[in-house]
DNA sequence: TGACCAAATGCAAGTTTGTTTCGCGGAACA
DNA sequence: TGTTCCGCGAAACAAACTTGCATTTGGTCA
């Protein structure tokens, strides 16, 4: 069964939910010219097929005492599959690692880290990088301005 | 007016909403030992004070034809304030630029870009970097695996 | 210590929103 | 032309959210 394609109604609904997923279905319906139940069915289907991965509240990190965002490019010593997987697992399990990508190019991983202060970051580098004997080197970038943040995907239409 | 501090109830509520912001307030109340209206009032307050920045649906980018994620480190020619601001503005306005950070270190900006294919990325580089006469150089990393993605903030407690 | 005030709570009623059911109509197909 | 299959809208229904109010809690000051 091919994942049922999305039509323009679905895309229009997604565009709204991506901005505010608590918009009442009635209003969504008015915006896209559909009845509320029709909107509801489409949302449900997109949730079940994984088009909508989740519904979450975005927390302002400064308000919960984690104002600092840091990027790290990590380069490993060995790229043996099992070591890569071990690294993925460790990064995934670390709460301060907000995002982790395995990439091509001059680095192997790119991490986005959220911490309270530089001391916390320093402690984290020890745990994640120095205590690992598979990290060749890492480069740190400290965010001065989170110019644009989100997981919004550009939608056709 | 100092931003009213968050107590353990608030943090517990945030932890839940960060995972699923459509959890019924009744269930949140049971989880944190509070009545539903109390939960509702706390959520409302955190929304008004900006602790909760927004409520959004997370869209699976592959499902909407944008399967490729790319990192770019951008280094500018000049760091004059007004040129920095112009760059911030342009990156912010570009839908394919999902995230943009102004950073310290060997680069000035780090971008996370979402595109349909490498052709789209190539076109975007032309528009964003080559057509700009203030970009000294940029380095590209293509994500092979989005190991961990989200905007979840680690919460104390 | 004791009285007062502010803030937050729980309960219950009222309102909005979300969900299911049902019958209808159009498109694809034989 | 008749049949089947989907998806729609209207209405009924269920669930969640919201508000008002009396009460409790915690802290301050005489």
| DSSP line for B18-54 | HH-TTS-HHHHHHHHT--HHHHHHHHHHHHHTTSEEE
CB under 8 Å to B10, separation ≥6 — which residues? B42, B46, B51
Tell me, yes or no, whether B25 and B78 share the same domain.
Answer: no
Cα–chain center distance at B15 = 18
> For position B157, what pLDDT does the model report?
75
**Residue B3 domain-assigned (yes or no):** no
**Residue B117 domain-assigned (yes or no):** yes
From CA B61, how far away is CA B115, in angstroms rounded? 9
**Residue A149 domain-assigned (yes or no):** no
Residue with the bigger pLDDT between B2 and A34: it is A34
**Residue A147 domain-assigned (yes or no):** no
From CA A115, how far away is CA B43, in angstroms rounded? 24
Tell me, yes or no, whether A27 and A87 share the same domain.
Answer: no
**Residue B100 domain-assigned (yes or no):** yes
Tell me, yes or no, whether A67 and A27 share the same domain.
Answer: no
CA nearest neighbour of B69 among A141, A79, A103: A103
Tell me which DSSP letter residue A126 carries.
I
The ipTM is: 0.93
Determine which of A28, A59, A71, A142 to mutate to test the interface with B (most B C-beta atoms within 10 Å).
Answer: A59
Check if B149 contacts A (Cβ < 8 Å).
yes
* pLDDT tens digits for range B80-126: 999 999 999 999 999 999 999 999 999 999 999 999 999 999 999 99
The total of structural domains in chain A comes to 2
Say if CB A156 and CB A100 are below 8 A apart: no
Q: Strand C closer than 7 Å to the CB of A26?
A: yes
Tell me, yes or no, whether B80 and B20 share the same domain.
Answer: no
State the residue for tokens 């760059």.
B87
Give me chain B's average pLDDT, please.
96
CB contact under 8 A, A3 and B63: yes
B25: domain CATH number?
1.10.10
Check if A62 contacts B (Cβ < 8 Å).
no
Tell me, yes or no, whether A93 and A30 share the same domain.
Answer: no
From CA A17, how far away is CA B64, in angstroms rounded? 14
Check if A1 contacts B (Cβ < 8 Å).
no
Tell me, yes or no, whether B73 and B118 share the same domain.
Answer: yes
Tell me, yes or no, whether A80 and A37 share the same domain.
Answer: no
DSSP strand pairing (B52-59 vs A52-59): antiparallel
Q: Strand C closer than 7 Å to the CB of A21?
A: no
If you measure CA to CA, which chain A residue comes closest to B61? A153
State the residue for tokens 């380095």.
B139
> For position B8, what pLDDT does the model report?
94
Chain B residues within 8 A of A156 when measuring between CB atoms: 64-65
- Report how far apart, in Å, the C-alpha atoms of A118 and of each of A23, A98, A113, B103 are: 39, 16, 11, 15
Q: Which of residues 73-92 of B touch A (CB under 8 A)?
A: 73, 88, 91-92
B104: domain CATH number?
3.30.70.920
> For position B1, what pLDDT does the model report?
44
> For position A4, what pLDDT does the model report?
73
Instruction: pLDDT tens for chain A, 157 residues: list them.
Output: 456 789 999 999 999 999 999 999 999 999 999 999 999 999 999 999 999 999 999 999 999 999 999 999 999 999 999 999 999 999 999 999 999 999 999 999 999 999 999 999 999 999 999 999 899 999 999 999 999 999 999 998 7
Tell me, yes or no, whether A38 and A14 share the same domain.
Answer: yes
Chain A residues within 8 A of B148 when measuring between CB atoms: 91-92, 97-100
Range of the domain at B68: 61-142
Tell me, yes or no, whether B43 and B65 share the same domain.
Answer: no
DSSP H or E run through A100: strand A97-103
């Amino acid at each position: 069964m091919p994942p049922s394609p999305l039509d323009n109604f679905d895309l229009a609904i997604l565009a709204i939910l991506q901005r505010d997923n608590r918009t009442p279905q009635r209003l969504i319906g008015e915006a896209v010219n559909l009845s509320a139940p029709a909107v509801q069915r489409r949302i449900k289907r997109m949730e079940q097929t994984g088009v909508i991965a989740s519904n979450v509240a975005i927390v302002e990190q400064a308000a919960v005492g984690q104002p600092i965002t840091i990027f790290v490019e990590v380069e490993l010593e060995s790229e043996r599959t099992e070591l890569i997987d071990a690294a993925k697992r460790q990064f995934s399990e670390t709460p301060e690692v907000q995002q982790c990508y395995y990439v091509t190019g001059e680095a192997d991983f790119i991490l986005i880290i959220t911490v309270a202060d530089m001391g916390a970051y320093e402690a984290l580098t020890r745990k994640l990088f120095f205590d690992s004997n598979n990290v060749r080197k890492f480069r740190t970038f400290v965010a001065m301005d989170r110019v644009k943040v989100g997981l919004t995907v550009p939608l056709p239409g």
